[in-house]
A = this chain, B = another copy of it.
């Protein structure tokens, strides 16, 4: 029977949405003494709930299933990790949309957080979402062992930080109007989007009990799809319209940002994306893991998506 990514995703996304609904809330079940103020949580929920493809959570869950199919372990951790990576992604979008960054007013077809709630609340909501990601990874109820909590925090912090996503954004900011080489462009994207995508795969794997061989393969898979994601993003920025994307198309070109399309042209960018897909699938073949069908389908979706 052929694998149906849509059906597979629907089941997982229902779990993720329900968990985010519960965990991004005023009555945070993880807090020490206090609940969180409603006004801040409103902005956090607006940023997170009911939107986005949830690619990162799906990567977490698919990687976990690939590793845990032989020896079930770590489902509670995987759901927390899936939500945590989405919170990091959501916070990065909130801050990235702010006037001092990309100054974008439209995101997923809705006003951006700072348009809806004001800049100060957008800033704080982003900050609080980052902290909440680490709250989710460190439950006090014993549902996730300490070693796993620590490993997940280690991976998430490094994926999000100065040598990961935030670092990539800083390079991106400094690169506007500059002619980058392909190496420089790749390094920027490996940090800006690649680090968290790869981090999602590795966090999912670490919720199970991965072999060294499987980890190395999933690392290569994560690196390939992380880069492919950005190449395809650059392609879609010139080939798709704003309605399909749910955000402003053509923005990178307008802002004189270096992209794969501007560097190597449209055809070569599309060929490059396909070769990265082949690399990702090849890594899965070499992983020694038997249940990689969801990871395969997600890689295909990353490269062949329309938005």
| Chain A contacts to B: CB under 8 angstroms | 28, 30-37, 39-41, 44, 91-92, 95, 98, 100-101, 118-121, 123-124, 126-128, 130-135, 137-138, 140, 146-151, 153-164, 166-167, 169-171, 173-174, 187, 190-191, 195
Contacts and interface: CB of A to CB of B under 8 A. Distances in A.
B167 A40 contact: yes
Given A120-B100, A146-B150, A162 B132 contact: yes
A120 B187 contact: no
Nearest to A130: B130
A146 B135 contact: no
Given A147-B147, A150-B146, A163 B119 contact: no
A162 B159 CA distance: 22
Contacts of A191: 34, 37
Contacts of A149: 146, 149-150, 153-154
A40 B124 contact: no
Contact of A127 (B44, B95, B137, B190): B95
A130 B157 CA distance: 9
A34 B190 contact: yes
* Most central of A37, A138, A162, A171 by chain B CB within 10 Å: A162
B36 A124 contact: no
A190 to B, nearest CB: 7
Contacts of A174: 37, 39
10 contacts: A28-B162, A100-B120, A101-B120, A124-B169, A127-B166, A128-B166, A130-B131, A131-B158, A134-B134, A149-B149
Contacts of A148: 146
A119 B163 CA distance: 20
A90 B91 CA distance: 19
B131 A166 contact: yes
A142 to B, nearest CB: 11
Given A149-B146, A150-B146, A150-B153, A36 B131 contact: no
Contacts of A137: 153, 157
